[in-house]
Structure 1
Amino acid sequence: MKLKRSIFLFCSIAFIGMVAFTGREEDPIEKLLTSLQSWAENNPQEKVYLHTDKPYYIVGDTIWFKTYVTIGSKHQLSALSGAVYVELINEGDSIAQSLKLPLMAGMAKGSIVLSDTAIREGNYRLRAYTQWMRNAGPEYFYDRTFSVGNSAANTVFAKIDYIYAKDGEQTKVTALIKYTDQKGEPYADKAVRYELKEGYKSIATGGGKTNESGELSVSLPSSKSEKAGSTYILTRITIADGENVPKSFPIKRASQQTDVQFFPEGGNLVNDIWTKVGVKVVGANGLGVSVQGVIIDNENKEVSKLETKHLGMGYFNLKSEQGKTYQAKITYPDGSVNTLKLPNAVNEGYALSVYNNTTGDTILVRIGAGSSILKKGDQVVSLVAQSEGDLQYAADIHVNKAVTSIPIPSKGLPSGILQFALFSESGNPLNERIVFVQKNDHMDLKVNSSKKEYSLREKVEIELDARDAAGNPLVGNFSVSVINEDVVPSDETTENSIFSQLLLSSDIKGYIEKPNYYFHNPTDETRANLDILMLTQGYRRFVWKDLISNKQLPPVYKAEKLVTNITGKLMTLNNKPVADGKVTLINNKLGLVLDTISDGKGKFKFSNLLITEGIDFTIQGRTAKNSKRLEIQIDKFVEQDATPNINIGDINSDIPKALMASIENSVKQDLDMQKHGRIGRGQHLKEVRIQASKLPKFGNTIHENQADQVFRPDSRQNCGTFKDCLEKMNNNKSVRFDQIMSEDCGPMWVARTLSGDGVYAVTIDGWILESCDFQELLLGDGSNISKVYFVYDSYAMRARLLGGRFGLKPPPVMAIYTKSGNFRQKYDPSVVYYAPKGFASVKEFYVPKYGNNEVNNSLADLRSTIYWNPATVTDKEGKARLSYFNSDNKGTYRVTVEGINADGLLGRQVYRYQVK
């Protein structure tokens, strides 16, 4: 079908006399198209979108979401993967929670509880992907940053601002942190200790006292190794004797200074050809900066002007001349001026320009040829347009004049990113340009209610009507969220939507500021700005050179199905395969037993297992003669690492202010619950206060973000023993090992802090062990180790891990956690414990019912999410009806409906009504 379509395009273009074809024996374009088709068939592209009930949350809330997984340029629901992973990532770029959800027809529903025991105020991320998507890389995952505010019990409000100052060629950055109480009164003359951290690596420490305005200045050191998005300041302010309140702040710094980049359209500036040059200016906070400037040549003559009007993006036109160089003289908002060199122009080359008339039915492509090209006479180049690997256009073009124009019909092109690429006659890539096709090929989705004004707790009935562009009814699957905008105010342009994610963000690397701006109310202006975004932000699902030369690597990760296979090998203790061995799989929860036999290579397989959360197994191996002198090796996939946050611009540095309406609503809810004798959320959500004078009786676990350093084994790490791995771990600031002579154990290794002034108490799976008890594990290969927490700074965290057994000043702690969770179990290589990640259980959203059978009448209903339904389906008439009850909060209620049908038509509609 693709070849027929391209032939149709060839014929239509030839008919109007714009394209000529060559009859080469081995046409490079045919090889190119064959490679593209092969890539598309072997690498179908999945995308993920999460529709959440709210744009941000309060500690103690539940995140309700629905996952949509699509595939290909038509964005149809994917049947390739049977599981999707949804992760909550904290400011330290550590995975705080992880869910595996079953995909049914490309969709899944789920929820994440923002537990007060694990979550505190800060900027978090939701990341979602399938195992198959890992082949494309985390740049194409769903990755959204959002704020979580503190509870009603918050006694310290803090915000951070940044002051930038030039020091020669360097930019000095100072963080100004301000602490106030709930009434806005400053915490003056209070001691503050701070630590600047990159993940778990400590970059700098210090302290000081707040001034009369409650402010503390912290100079941020420059660091070439610093990763954008993963650096934060952890502070502890002493507000009373022995009462320290921790606060963390992200370092909202994409770079040390304002970053200016130039993007010649098509890739090159070519002398004697007018070229559009995109400009992108990003501030140190990751957001676009509006600047003005002029372009001057090497004779200081002004040849063009530039201005970035939309989110730091803009463009100018330039016709470069041979022998000249060009600079941009830029004026920043503060009045400072900087002069930057433009990319050098080339004499021999092509310029590729695309004019995307979104309101018409044609895309105009222009190929400009430099004078040196024209001197060679008639040249043949190939123009290819593709979307998600799906060929949309291909033709050979004869170039024999300065500008060759090719009008391409846009009818039938799907909405989304379309990549144009120009190739030489020998098939080498020359130029690239991406454009966005924004057409009316989505659902016509209408949302209505019987009236526009309602009363408190009144029943609301909503009707959905889904149709295609021709007015035909559609059967679709939708998720519906209703929130009170007076309690959860938001900016719809900054949100992710099903359009902005599946059509734009999932195909573009890097941060996109205000992604839904381009979709929530499309106009000529938004379309023009979207084209500038295409000009200044790259597309790299694949590299043409690798595609042509067949250097594309085969997929590393297989598409995961709804059912799971447990596979592995039986090996002798000399590491030789055991053929015809007997393998027994025992479900530890249900007691079910399965048996199988290993093949000639020692491999075994248990197929089609549906594994839910909490299911674990014991796997036992025996030889054909029933001997247990063998080892079981289970095949396990490597988990996806947490990546640094690229969404610097979305990081909120003043969460209490931005979420004030939600926090105040939480206060009202908490007070009402206490008034009626209930345990209010504020009684659960008090801030962690570290008191050095006395220690509560903690358990023996802590959260990962409370450790001073975390070690996770990496199979790629070149180390022989577990001890060796710990000493060689990345940025080791925690541990060294000294050998001592013990009367009971003989020579043994003890773990000390790196400074050598403290010996670690060692816990394994919560058990406190003497040094000689874990020597075997220390000198083993560490294959059973899941993670290690090092805690040395906080007496409170030490005490928690050690159960308070060492008094007021417990020693530093090295807490080791094994994969089996039971270190004391006698080691037997013929028996292994295996706990694969199972499907998480799904909660249902509670909808109160009022009227004759009114519930909880005495309690105030102050829900911020009024209604959530992730499984709304329209009937054959395109209709669906929903009903729910309003809360006790007046205001503007926003109904957001998003969804998709079997043909991949996307739908989104926002509807508002008043509650008085």
Structure 2
Amino acid sequence: MKIKARYTLVIVGCLMAGLLAFTQKAEDPIDKVVASLQQWFDANPQEKVYLHTDKPYYLVGDTIWFKAYVTVGSENQLSAISGALYVDLITEGDSIAKQLKLPITTGMSVGNFVLDDDLTREGNYRIRAYTQWMRNAGADYFYDKTFTIGNSITNSVFAKIDYVYTKSSSKTNIKAILKYTDEKGNPLVSKNVSYQLKESYRILATGGGKTNAAGELSINLPNAKPGELSNSYLMTKVNLSGSETVPKTFPIKTASLQTDVQFFPESGSLINGVKSKVAFKATGTNGLGVAITGVINDSDNKQVAQIDVKHLGMGYFYLTPQAGKSYTATITYPDGASNTVNLPAAVNDGYVLSVLNQQKDSVLVRINTGATKAANTVGLIGQMGGKVYFSMTVPIQNGSAVVSLPTKEIASGILQLTLFSASGSPLNERVVFIQNNDNIDLKINSNKKAYARREKIDIDIDALSGLGKPVGGNFSMSVMSEDAVPSYEANENSIFSHILLSSDIKGYIEKPNYYFFKPSDDTKANLDILMLTQGYRRFNWTDVLSNTSPANTYKADKLINEITGKVVTFDNKPVAGGRVIIINNKTGFTRDTITDKNGRFAFTRLLITNGIDFTVQGANAKGGKRVNTIVDQVTPPVISFNKNIGDVNADIPTLIKTALENSLKQDLEMQKQGKPGRVKELREVRIRAAKPKFGAGAITESQADMVFRPDSRMPCTSLWECLQEANRSRVRFQQLLDTTGECGGPLWIPIFQQKTQYVILIDSVMIQPCYYQSVLINNTEDIAKVVVSCDSYAINAKLLGPLNLSRLNTRIPPPVIAIYTKSGNFRKSSDPSIVHYAPKGYDYVREFYAPKYNIPQNNPAAADLRSTVYWNPRILTGPTGHSKVSYYNSDQTGTYRVTIEGINAEGMLARKVYRYTVQ
């Protein structure tokens, strides 16, 4: 029998004293929930990082200019928790090209990456930013942006990749179509191409072929489990002539091996007899939304709803499930294919927490129950970032209740509504995005809208509150030629989209700034669909209610550094009262201290810049050096898979075409003036037959049996594990007892073919087993690479070198493992009481050069065709809310885009884009 629900409207107008006022009892379960939530967030404040960059994509030779904003709490106030920010430039192969450590002062920091040709080549890169404190919440909440770097004008090979998907039985086959052209678009015909399909350090497949008349080469990618290829990449080498080859790397841009469609009943479950909103999301193989259509049928094959996408593969429909029936979705894809997907099964008991309507100053919430829960009481809590805005008990009458929640005083962001049982157990969750007028209103003006080349421009900036009052704040400003670097604001990250949205949600958000740069009723409605399909995942209620705070493994860095560690005996007992000396020979710095009862020591109040290293030596209370000195070191976070696969660009030449033409114009102008230009300054990396040499004995990489480079994502915790588990490794380890008693424990010995010990060289010096144990059992942070030579006596001998070979007193050179450290400072007689420590110090930050063309010597005849015309990360508006910025236009003509972002002390965010023209 179909039940017709009758609803009782309950309005909450004031939280101080209302019809649904929170029960004032010491033992009230909802009181306990609120107290536990507050306690959890007090112990685990959540930092967020946003980077404002000067432009959306770059060319090799450019500089990435950025300013970091570090916030904390529900009201996005500038954080005082962390004193250091880490910013990684990550390659397409998921390795770190460069890492910066920058000081954070008053919640902000500035920095830059120079994209020289030694550091970067064409491809899709990521910028990842985090603090050590943020690592406790996990890498899902780091700032992680995918962007494109195009090659410079020295590039003679342009390439793109397309995919063809075909079905055979139950498998989806992927064919990659690679196309190579020259700089004029002419196909590179009959060129030999070799390739490796790699995932991090693993080689998944190898092969090669010859390009056809269209400059194309087809590669059948191996069948894999869904998602396995999503973060792999194809390394190719195209032979131009003779021994010269040019490398090109392509992303394998597949989020899954078929379009993925998921269904999300509002607040959790479908309840029989209760009408529910069901959201859906269709994601294509490229990670982007797919415009599907379809119908919902019940088990009697009767159509009960229709599927229509409203925005980027997302939409919703209404369904009232009936007991005894099941439901399926018949989906039609843009290419005409179709399939059937089962909807989540409905249950008889439970609650549906739904948002009926979101007005300007309120949200209307409805609670419906199944047939067996006609009358009872539930709790409702609304919180954002740990700040509780609503907590109340709600009586359910005739199976439903409606509550109006005032939102005018709530900060913009994700409001989490959670329904609790009478005993305080979480039942349902629904998140709503609150978009109030609580940001800084920036007014940007110039005295005219059109300027001449190299003309001075004065920009007036006024920061106002929503009520029109002046606001003091801290801002960053970029000016770029939009004709040289075309941009699409909806696709970009912004301070609004990241701080308020992306930083609280796991997973990829397509076109994040669409919801903010031109807000309307449509953008708000589509943002609510996003809330239904992705939602809020900052914490687990089970941990909160059990008062179980996650172990905060990582301490927040302070602006002023410290070096800590311990001194222990060879059998790992603490050395109390020991003396520890720290020395930096370059600066003459020396300091000493005494260990405490646990053998711990600390050198505090140090300001360490990058490139400063130390020697730390420990001794026991009597000055004896038969001790182990251990310096505390924090391992860097692993490089997680790129969640923003939808932002990976498989056709870089098309994206950068305009920027490349601009760069060519600039180069020709410089050459006319007799200057070298970028052609000579930036040379594309070309691999020739003679490969670079390395290491003792100067063997080439091709002569080695294995060359191992550490990868942060490898599932190993020590160097010996990494070497043994590396791809095609011929190194095995045996653990032997130390019969002499001199080494202080068992030994890990590398073995070749179950019988022959490898000789280990560290920084070209032969090291005995006692002294290389510390290198094998530690992580790979200080390891640059490891070279392994097994079979060839000649190569073994060459790698060892004559001095080491003579020390072995053998005519047959044994297999060799040559370890090269980043510091290059492993001592010949490794003294465990001495530690060479090279901490990551603060990096030097360049200042943006802005020419002043009113001075004759700064007004050269050569064309100034910079795409980033001006960058200023330090703009302040004081009590008047006003600031003025002056700079000179370049020789670029067309539209200039001014982008200003920032924040004030109260956490009010700001972003404004302003345009003018240069003729």
Give the residue type in structure 1 aligned to 2:727. N
Aligned counterparts of 2:707 and 2:226: Cα–Cα separation in 1: 19
Say whether residues 1:521 and 2:518 are aligned partners. Answer: yes
- Partner secondary structure for residue 373 of structure 1: coil
Distance in 2 (alpha carbons) for counterparts of 1:284 and 1:759: 48
| 8 Å CA contact 1:122, 1:248 repeated in 2 | yes
Residue in 2 aligned with 1:141? 142
CA spacing shift, 1:682–1:23, aligned 2, 3 Å: same
CA shift, 1:569, in A, is 1.2
1:289 matched to which residue of 2?
290
1:630-649 to structure 2, matched below 5 A, reads 630-649=627-646
Deviation at 1:642? 1.1
Check conservation: 1:620, 1:632, Cα contact below 8 A.
yes
Distance 1:63 1:684 in 2: 18
Please tell me whether residue 860 in structure 1 is matched to residue 825 in structure 2: no
Instruction: Give the aligned partner of residue 371 of structure 1.
Output: 371
Shift of 1:282: 0.1
Cα drift, residue 856 of structure 1 = 5.0
1:829, distance to aligned residue in structure 2 (A): 1.7
**Structure 2 residue 228 is matched with structure 1 residue 218:** no
Residues 707, 786 of structure 2: 8 Å contact kept? yes
Tell me, yes or no, if the aligned pair for 1:66 and 1:110 is still in contact at 8 Å. yes
- 3-state SS of paired residue (2:372): helix
Distance 2:634 2:281 in 1: 40
Structure-2 residue corresponding to 1:70: 71
667-676 or 427-436, which moves further after superposition? 667-676
Decide which of 725, 728, 732 is 2:724's aligned counterpart.
Answer: 728
Is residue 2:544 matched to residue 1:550? no
- Cα contact 1:567–1:606 (8 A) shared by 2: yes
Of 682, 685, 688, which residue of structure 1 is paired with 2:679? 682
Give a deviation string over 1:48-74, Cα, whole Å, max 9, x none. 000000100101111000000001011
Q: What is the CA deviation profile of residues 352-399 of structure 1, one whole-angstrom value per residue up to 9, with x for unaligned ones?
A: 0013524x211111000111111xxx3111001110011110101111
Q: Secondary structure at the match of 2:395?
A: strand
After superposition, the C-alpha distances for 1:174-198 in whole angstroms (9 at most, x for unaligned) are: 1111001111111112111111000
Deviation at 1:558, TM superposition (A): 1.5
* AA aligned opposite 1:895: V
2:296–2:306 Cα contact (<8 Å) kept:
yes
Deviation of the 1:790 alpha carbon: 5.5
> SS of 1:153's equivalent?
coil
8 Å CA contact 1:201, 1:709 repeated in 2: no
Give me the whole-angstrom Cα distance separating, in 1, the residues matched to 2:39 and 2:296.
45
Cα deviation code 1:256-297 (max 9, x no counterpart)? 110000000000101111100000000000000011111100
CA distance in 1, matches of 2:711, 2:628: 24
Give the corresponding residue for 2:912. Answer: 909
Q: Is the 8 A contact 2:192 2:211 kept in 1?
A: yes
Q: What runs of 5+ residues in structure 2 fail to find an aligned partner?
A: 1-10, 735-746, 790-794, 803-813
Structure 1 stretch displaced more, 777-786 or 132-141 = 777-786
Q: Determine helix, strand or coil for the equivalent of 2:61.
A: coil
For the structure 1 residues 352 and 477, does the alpha-carbon distance in structure 2 shift closer, same or farther, using more than 3 Å as the test? same
Structure 1 residue 603, shift from structure 2 partner: 1.1
Structure 2 residue identity aligned to 1:262:
F
Q: CA deviation digits over 1:432-462, x for unaligned, max 9? A: 0111000110011011111000011111111
Deviation for aligned residue 1:416: 0.3
Paired letter, 2:101: K
For 2:355 and 2:450, how far apart are their aligned partners in 1? 48
Please say which of residues 123-132 and 634-643 is displaced more in the overlay.
634-643
1:72/1:669 Cα in 2 relative to 1: closer, same or farther (>3 Å)?
same
- Write the mapping of 1:743-762 to structure 2, written as runs, cut at 5 A: none
Distance 1:189 1:540, change over 3 A: same
State the Cα distance separating 1:606 from its structure 2 match.
1.1
Aligned letter for 2:439?
H
Q: 1:138 to 1:356 in 2, by over 3 A?
A: farther
Counterpart contact for 2:176–2:220, Cα < 8 Å: yes
Separation in structure 1 between the aligned mates of residue 480 and residue 707 of structure 2, nearest angstrom? 39
Q: Distance in 2 between matches of 1:713 and 1:62?
A: 26
C-alpha change, 1:912 and 1:29, in structure 2 (3 Å) is: same
Count the aligned residue pairs. 873
For the residues of structure 2 that align with 1:759 and 1:849, how far apart are their CA atoms? 67
SS of equivalent to 2:624: coil
List alignment gaps of at least 5 residues for structure 1: 1-8, 740-746, 794-798
Which whole-Å CA distance do the structure 1 matches of 2:730 and 2:124 have between them?
30
Correspondence 1:402-551 to 2 at 5 A:
402-551=399-548
Equivalent in the alignment of 1:253: 254
Deviation at 1:115, TM superposition (A): 1.5
State the match for 2:710 in structure 1: 711
Q: Is the 8 A contact 1:498 1:908 kept in 2?
A: yes
User: How far does the alpha carbon of each residue in 1:321-352 deviate from its partner, in whole angstroms, 9 at most, with x for none?
Assistant: 11110011111101111111000001000000
1:612, CA displacement in angstroms? Answer: 1.1
Give the match for residue 299 of structure 2.
298
Corresponding residue of 1:158: 159
Superposition deviation, residue 755 in structure 1: 14
Partner of 2:876: 873
| Distance in 1 of aligned mates of 2:707 and 2:836 | 29
Counterpart of 1:231, as a letter, is S
Query: Which deviations, in whole Å up to 9, do the C-alpha atoms of 1:701-751 show, x marking residues without a partner?
Result: 999xx99642369999577xx5x424433x532442599xxxxxxx99888
Point out the more displaced range, 225-234 or 774-783.
774-783
Contact 1:356 1:435 in 2 (8 A): no
Deviation at 1:579, TM superposition (A): 1.4
State the SS of the aligned residue for 2:121: coil
Aligned position for 2:811: none
Letter in 1 for 2:887: Y
Match of 2:776 in 1: 782
Which of residues 816, 819, 825 in structure 2 aligns to 1:816? 819
Q: Secondary structure at the match of 2:847?
A: coil
Say whether the 8 Å CA contact 1:712–1:787 is kept in structure 2.
no
Shifted more, 682-691 versus 113-122: the winner is 682-691
Deviation at 1:839, TM superposition (A): 0.7
CA separation of 1:660 and 1:238: change in aligned 2, threshold 3 A? same
**Paired residues of 1:479 and 1:870 also in contact (CA < 8 A):** yes
- Taking the aligned partners of 2:728 and 2:41, their CA distance within structure 1 comes to 46
How far does the alpha carbon of each residue in 1:91-139 deviate from its partner, in whole angstroms, 9 at most, with x for none? 1111111111000100001111112012110000000011111111010
For 1:593 and 1:788, how far apart are their aligned partners in 2? Answer: 29
What is the rounded CA distance, in whole Å, between the counterparts of 2:276 and 2:215 in structure 1? 53
Q: How has the CA–CA distance of structure 1 residues 818 and 751 changed in structure 2, closer, same or farther, with 3 Å as cutoff? A: farther
Alpha-carbon offset, residue 832 of structure 1: 1.3
Q: How far 1:566 sits from its partner (Å)?
A: 1.2
Do structure 1's residue 400 and structure 2's residue 397 form an aligned pair?
A: yes
Question: Does structure 2 retain, via aligned residues, the 8 Å contact 1:418–1:434?
Answer: yes
Q: How many Å apart are 1:651 and its aligned residue?
A: 0.1
In structure 2, the partner of 1:116 is 117
Structure 1 residue 244 displacement after superposition? 1.2
Deviation track 1:199-248 (CA, whole Å, cap 9, x = no partner) reads 11000111111111111111111323864642000011112111111100
User: Is the Cα contact below 8 Å between 2:761 and 2:767 reproduced in 1?
Assistant: no
Q: Which moved more, 1:550-559 or 1:130-139?
A: 550-559
What is the alpha-carbon distance in structure 1 between the residues aligned to residue 291 and residue 31 of structure 2? 45
Contact 2:899 2:912 in 1 (8 A): yes
Contact kept in structure 2, 1:10 and 1:395, CA below 8 Å:
no
8 Å Cα contact 1:68/1:107 also seen in 2? yes
User: Any idea what SS the aligned residue of 1:435 has?
Assistant: strand
Instruction: Judge which range, 517-526 or 567-576, deviates more.
Output: 567-576
Correspondence for 1:623 among 611, 617, 620? 620
Does the 8 Å contact 2:235/2:247 carry over to 1? yes
Match of 1:841 in 2: 844
Are the equivalent residues in 1 in contact too, given 2:43–2:549 (CA < 8 A)?
no
Over 3 Å counting, the alpha-carbon distance change for 1:35 and 1:492 in structure 2 is same
Distance 1:851 1:417, change over 3 A: same
Q: CA deviation at 1:691?
A: 2.3
User: Deviation string for 1:676-703 (max 9, x for gaps)?
Assistant: 33332222433322222x5678898999
What amino acid is aligned across from residue 364 of structure 1 in structure 2? L
